Amino acid sequence: MSDRPVNTAHAIAIPAPRPTIWMIVLCAIAAALGLSGCSPQSGAPVTQPARTSTPAPASGPSATNPSVALAPSGAGTKNLSASTTTTTPGATAAPADLSKGPNGMELATFGAGCFWGVEHVLRQQPGVIDAVSGYSGGASANPTYEQVCSGRSGHVEVVQVTFDPKKLSYDQVLSVFFRLHNPTQVNGQGPDIGDQYRSVIFYQSEAQKTGAEKLIADLTAAKKFKRPIATTVEPFAKFWPAEEYHQKYYQRKGTEPYCHVLRADY
Protein backbone atom coordinates (compact mmCIF):
# COMPACT_ATOMS: atom_id res chain seq x y z
CA MET A 1 0.00 0.00 0.00
CA SER A 2 1.21 3.57 -0.70
CA ASP A 3 2.80 5.59 2.19
CA ARG A 4 1.62 8.88 0.73
CA PRO A 5 -0.56 11.03 3.07
CA VAL A 6 -4.30 11.16 2.63
CA ASN A 7 -5.50 13.75 0.17
CA THR A 8 -7.60 16.09 2.30
CA ALA A 9 -9.55 17.26 -0.75
CA HIS A 10 -10.93 13.78 -1.09
CA ALA A 11 -11.07 12.59 2.45
CA ILE A 12 -13.46 9.69 1.75
CA ALA A 13 -11.38 8.08 -0.95
CA ILE A 14 -8.04 6.34 -0.67
CA PRO A 15 -5.78 7.09 -3.65
CA ALA A 16 -5.30 4.08 -5.83
CA PRO A 17 -1.80 2.69 -6.34
CA ARG A 18 -0.11 3.20 -9.68
CA PRO A 19 -1.59 0.63 -12.07
CA THR A 20 0.59 -2.18 -13.30
CA ILE A 21 0.22 -3.93 -16.64
CA TRP A 22 -1.62 -6.81 -14.91
CA MET A 23 -4.05 -4.43 -13.23
CA ILE A 24 -4.83 -2.83 -16.59
CA VAL A 25 -5.42 -6.23 -18.23
CA LEU A 26 -7.60 -7.50 -15.37
CA CYS A 27 -9.64 -4.32 -15.29
CA ALA A 28 -10.18 -4.45 -19.03
CA ILE A 29 -11.48 -8.01 -18.79
CA ALA A 30 -13.70 -7.16 -15.83
CA ALA A 31 -15.13 -4.10 -17.59
CA ALA A 32 -15.86 -6.12 -20.71
CA LEU A 33 -17.73 -8.67 -18.63
CA GLY A 34 -19.59 -6.01 -16.67
CA LEU A 35 -18.09 -7.29 -13.40
CA SER A 36 -16.36 -4.12 -12.25
CA GLY A 37 -16.68 -0.35 -12.18
CA CYS A 38 -12.94 -0.06 -12.63
CA SER A 39 -11.54 2.00 -15.50
CA PRO A 40 -8.76 0.12 -17.32
CA GLN A 41 -7.03 3.38 -18.16
CA SER A 42 -6.60 4.75 -14.65
CA GLY A 43 -7.41 1.91 -12.31
CA ALA A 44 -9.45 4.42 -10.26
CA PRO A 45 -12.96 3.76 -9.03
CA VAL A 46 -15.76 5.12 -11.18
CA THR A 47 -19.23 6.10 -10.05
CA GLN A 48 -21.99 3.60 -10.96
CA PRO A 49 -25.24 5.14 -12.26
CA ALA A 50 -28.15 5.00 -9.87
CA ARG A 51 -30.87 2.36 -10.58
CA THR A 52 -34.06 3.81 -11.95
CA SER A 53 -36.33 1.05 -10.65
CA THR A 54 -36.64 -1.03 -7.54
CA PRO A 55 -34.89 -4.38 -7.97
CA ALA A 56 -37.17 -7.42 -8.11
CA PRO A 57 -37.04 -10.00 -5.32
CA ALA A 58 -34.77 -12.99 -5.81
CA SER A 59 -37.61 -15.07 -7.25
CA GLY A 60 -38.24 -12.59 -10.06
CA PRO A 61 -41.97 -11.77 -9.80
CA SER A 62 -43.48 -9.23 -7.47
CA ALA A 63 -43.91 -10.48 -3.94
CA THR A 64 -47.42 -9.04 -3.75
CA ASN A 65 -48.64 -10.37 -7.11
CA PRO A 66 -46.77 -13.42 -8.41
CA SER A 67 -48.27 -13.02 -11.88
CA VAL A 68 -46.76 -9.56 -12.40
CA ALA A 69 -43.08 -9.11 -13.17
CA LEU A 70 -41.25 -5.85 -12.55
CA ALA A 71 -40.55 -3.88 -15.69
CA PRO A 72 -37.90 -1.25 -16.48
CA SER A 73 -38.73 2.31 -15.39
CA GLY A 74 -41.30 4.01 -17.62
CA ALA A 75 -42.27 0.79 -19.40
CA GLY A 76 -45.13 -0.11 -17.11
CA THR A 77 -45.81 -3.66 -15.94
CA LYS A 78 -46.85 -6.72 -17.91
CA ASN A 79 -49.25 -9.29 -16.60
CA LEU A 80 -47.61 -12.60 -17.43
CA SER A 81 -50.80 -14.52 -16.74
CA ALA A 82 -52.40 -12.89 -19.76
CA SER A 83 -49.77 -14.25 -22.16
CA THR A 84 -49.20 -17.65 -20.61
CA THR A 85 -51.11 -20.65 -21.98
CA THR A 86 -52.17 -23.15 -19.35
CA THR A 87 -52.37 -26.76 -20.56
CA THR A 88 -54.82 -28.98 -18.75
CA PRO A 89 -53.35 -32.44 -18.09
CA GLY A 90 -54.72 -34.93 -20.60
CA ALA A 91 -56.06 -32.22 -22.92
CA THR A 92 -55.20 -32.28 -26.63
CA ALA A 93 -54.81 -29.29 -28.90
CA ALA A 94 -57.36 -28.73 -31.65
CA PRO A 95 -56.16 -30.24 -34.93
CA ALA A 96 -55.02 -27.96 -37.69
CA ASP A 97 -57.55 -27.11 -40.42
CA LEU A 98 -56.36 -29.16 -43.40
CA SER A 99 -59.50 -28.59 -45.45
CA LYS A 100 -58.35 -25.34 -47.03
CA GLY A 101 -57.63 -25.67 -50.73
CA PRO A 102 -56.25 -23.11 -53.21
CA ASN A 103 -58.28 -20.02 -54.11
CA GLY A 104 -60.84 -20.50 -51.37
CA MET A 105 -61.66 -24.08 -52.34
CA GLU A 106 -62.26 -26.84 -49.78
CA LEU A 107 -60.80 -30.36 -49.65
CA ALA A 108 -62.51 -33.55 -48.49
CA THR A 109 -61.25 -37.14 -48.51
CA PHE A 110 -63.40 -40.29 -48.65
CA GLY A 111 -62.97 -44.03 -48.97
CA ALA A 112 -65.91 -45.99 -50.43
CA GLY A 113 -64.47 -49.01 -52.21
CA CYS A 114 -62.57 -49.00 -55.51
CA PHE A 115 -61.56 -45.39 -56.14
CA TRP A 116 -62.28 -45.57 -59.87
CA GLY A 117 -66.05 -45.43 -59.38
CA VAL A 118 -65.96 -43.03 -56.42
CA GLU A 119 -63.89 -40.54 -58.37
CA HIS A 120 -66.13 -40.87 -61.44
CA VAL A 121 -69.35 -40.10 -59.55
CA LEU A 122 -67.90 -37.25 -57.45
CA ARG A 123 -66.30 -35.60 -60.46
CA GLN A 124 -69.72 -35.20 -62.09
CA GLN A 125 -71.23 -33.18 -59.23
CA PRO A 126 -71.79 -29.44 -59.81
CA GLY A 127 -69.37 -27.45 -57.68
CA VAL A 128 -66.67 -30.14 -57.70
CA ILE A 129 -63.47 -28.69 -59.16
CA ASP A 130 -61.39 -31.86 -59.10
CA ALA A 131 -61.38 -35.41 -57.78
CA VAL A 132 -58.15 -37.38 -57.44
CA SER A 133 -57.78 -41.09 -56.70
CA GLY A 134 -55.17 -41.96 -54.09
CA TYR A 135 -54.31 -43.54 -50.78
CA SER A 136 -54.64 -42.47 -47.16
CA GLY A 137 -54.65 -43.89 -43.65
CA GLY A 138 -51.41 -45.89 -43.73
CA ALA A 139 -48.05 -45.24 -42.13
CA SER A 140 -45.66 -45.65 -45.07
CA ALA A 141 -44.92 -42.85 -47.53
CA ASN A 142 -45.65 -43.02 -51.26
CA PRO A 143 -47.39 -46.41 -51.24
CA THR A 144 -47.83 -48.24 -54.52
CA TYR A 145 -51.04 -49.78 -55.80
CA GLU A 146 -49.59 -53.24 -55.26
CA GLN A 147 -48.71 -52.47 -51.65
CA VAL A 148 -52.18 -51.12 -50.91
CA CYS A 149 -53.89 -54.05 -52.67
CA SER A 150 -51.94 -56.47 -50.47
CA GLY A 151 -53.98 -55.21 -47.52
CA ARG A 152 -50.87 -54.98 -45.37
CA SER A 153 -49.91 -51.30 -45.81
CA GLY A 154 -52.81 -49.94 -43.75
CA HIS A 155 -53.82 -47.54 -46.54
CA VAL A 156 -57.30 -47.15 -47.95
CA GLU A 157 -58.22 -46.42 -51.54
CA VAL A 158 -59.67 -42.91 -51.31
CA VAL A 159 -60.67 -39.95 -53.43
CA GLN A 160 -59.73 -36.41 -52.47
CA VAL A 161 -62.30 -33.89 -53.68
CA THR A 162 -61.68 -30.21 -54.31
CA PHE A 163 -64.94 -28.28 -54.34
CA ASP A 164 -66.23 -24.73 -54.28
CA PRO A 165 -68.01 -24.21 -50.91
CA LYS A 166 -69.95 -21.33 -52.46
CA LYS A 167 -71.60 -23.75 -54.88
CA LEU A 168 -71.53 -27.02 -52.97
CA SER A 169 -71.50 -27.40 -49.19
CA TYR A 170 -69.60 -30.09 -47.32
CA ASP A 171 -72.93 -31.51 -46.11
CA GLN A 172 -73.99 -31.92 -49.75
CA VAL A 173 -70.72 -33.69 -50.56
CA LEU A 174 -71.37 -36.00 -47.60
CA SER A 175 -74.83 -36.74 -48.97
CA VAL A 176 -73.34 -37.77 -52.32
CA PHE A 177 -70.78 -39.94 -50.54
CA PHE A 178 -73.45 -41.89 -48.63
CA ARG A 179 -75.63 -42.27 -51.72
CA LEU A 180 -72.94 -43.55 -54.10
CA HIS A 181 -71.98 -46.66 -52.10
CA ASN A 182 -73.21 -49.07 -49.46
CA PRO A 183 -72.04 -47.62 -46.12
CA THR A 184 -73.19 -50.69 -44.19
CA GLN A 185 -70.72 -53.11 -45.79
CA VAL A 186 -67.77 -53.84 -43.50
CA ASN A 187 -64.26 -53.84 -44.98
CA GLY A 188 -65.29 -53.91 -48.59
CA GLN A 189 -67.58 -52.63 -51.29
CA GLY A 190 -69.38 -55.00 -53.62
CA PRO A 191 -66.93 -57.59 -54.94
CA ASP A 192 -63.92 -55.65 -53.65
CA ILE A 193 -63.15 -57.15 -50.26
CA GLY A 194 -60.52 -56.00 -47.79
CA ASP A 195 -59.69 -53.26 -45.30
CA GLN A 196 -58.29 -51.13 -48.13
CA TYR A 197 -61.84 -50.87 -49.55
CA ARG A 198 -63.60 -49.91 -46.31
CA SER A 199 -66.03 -47.02 -45.95
CA VAL A 200 -64.30 -44.11 -44.23
CA ILE A 201 -64.44 -40.32 -43.94
CA PHE A 202 -61.06 -38.73 -43.27
CA TYR A 203 -62.07 -35.40 -41.77
CA GLN A 204 -59.73 -32.46 -42.42
CA SER A 205 -61.21 -29.98 -39.96
CA GLU A 206 -63.33 -29.99 -36.82
CA ALA A 207 -66.26 -28.72 -38.88
CA GLN A 208 -65.98 -31.72 -41.21
CA LYS A 209 -65.83 -34.11 -38.27
CA THR A 210 -68.91 -32.56 -36.70
CA GLY A 211 -70.81 -32.67 -40.01
CA ALA A 212 -69.94 -36.32 -40.67
CA GLU A 213 -70.84 -37.49 -37.19
CA LYS A 214 -74.12 -35.58 -37.26
CA LEU A 215 -75.19 -37.04 -40.61
CA ILE A 216 -74.38 -40.59 -39.48
CA ALA A 217 -76.42 -40.01 -36.31
CA ASP A 218 -79.33 -38.58 -38.32
CA LEU A 219 -79.31 -41.44 -40.84
CA THR A 220 -79.17 -43.96 -38.02
CA ALA A 221 -82.04 -42.31 -36.13
CA ALA A 222 -84.11 -42.18 -39.32
CA LYS A 223 -83.34 -45.87 -40.02
CA LYS A 224 -82.34 -45.11 -43.59
CA PHE A 225 -80.41 -48.39 -43.79
CA LYS A 226 -81.46 -51.87 -42.75
CA ARG A 227 -78.04 -52.58 -41.24
CA PRO A 228 -75.79 -50.43 -39.02
CA ILE A 229 -73.61 -47.87 -40.79
CA ALA A 230 -70.03 -49.18 -40.90
CA THR A 231 -68.48 -45.90 -42.06
CA THR A 232 -65.74 -44.69 -39.74
CA VAL A 233 -64.83 -41.05 -39.14
CA GLU A 234 -61.07 -40.67 -38.76
CA PRO A 235 -58.60 -37.76 -38.66
CA PHE A 236 -56.88 -37.00 -41.95
CA ALA A 237 -53.08 -37.24 -41.97
CA LYS A 238 -51.76 -37.50 -45.52
CA PHE A 239 -53.02 -38.06 -49.04
CA TRP A 240 -50.90 -39.83 -51.62
CA PRO A 241 -52.14 -39.52 -55.24
CA ALA A 242 -52.41 -42.86 -56.97
CA GLU A 243 -50.53 -43.75 -60.14
CA GLU A 244 -51.52 -41.82 -63.25
CA TYR A 245 -53.26 -44.75 -64.92
CA HIS A 246 -55.85 -44.76 -62.11
CA GLN A 247 -56.88 -41.13 -62.67
CA LYS A 248 -60.12 -40.50 -64.62
CA TYR A 249 -60.24 -44.25 -65.25
CA TYR A 250 -63.85 -44.55 -66.47
CA GLN A 251 -63.66 -41.28 -68.35
CA ARG A 252 -60.73 -42.60 -70.35
CA LYS A 253 -62.30 -46.03 -70.81
CA GLY A 254 -65.65 -44.61 -71.86
CA THR A 255 -67.53 -46.96 -69.52
CA GLU A 256 -69.50 -46.71 -66.28
CA PRO A 257 -68.62 -47.94 -62.76
CA TYR A 258 -69.62 -51.49 -61.92
CA CYS A 259 -70.63 -50.87 -58.27
CA HIS A 260 -70.95 -47.12 -57.75
CA VAL A 261 -74.23 -45.56 -58.82
CA LEU A 262 -75.62 -42.36 -57.31
CA ARG A 263 -79.00 -43.13 -55.74
CA ALA A 264 -81.75 -40.49 -55.48
CA ASP A 265 -82.16 -41.27 -51.79
CA TYR A 266 -80.10 -43.00 -49.15
Q: Are residues 108 and 16 in the same domain?
A: no
Cα–Cα distance for residue pair 63/69, rounded to 1 Å: 9
Catalytic residue ranges = 114
Cβ-Cβ contacts under 8 Å for 124 (sequence gap 6 or more): none
Contact 227, 219 (CB under 8 A): no
Q: For residues 21 and 27, is the Cβ–Cβ distance under 8 A?
A: no
For 134-154, the pLDDT digits (tens) are: 999 999 999 999 999 999 999
Q: What percentage of residues in the chain have a pLDDT greater than 70?
A: 64
C-alpha separations of 90 from 81, 87, 93, 210, 237 in Å: 21, 9, 10, 22, 22
SS3 27: helix
Q: How many domains does the chain have?
A: 2
Q: What confidence score (pLDDT) does residue 95 get?
A: 59
Residue 41 domain boundaries: 8-46
**Beta bridge partner(s), residue 261:** none
- DSSP H/E element including 193: strand 192-193
Of 132, 112, 258, 239, nearest to 188 by C-alpha is 112
Q: Which of 61, 163, 60 is nearest to 103 (CA)?
A: 163
Q: What is the mean pLDDT of residues 191-208?
A: 97
In a domain, 235, yes or no: yes
Domain co-membership, 29 together with 144: no
Residues 39 and 120 in one domain: no
Average pLDDT score over residue span 109-116: 98
pLDDT in tens, 5-55: 444 333 334 344 444 454 444 444 444 444 434 333 333 333 333 333 333
- 148 and 240 assigned to the same domain: yes
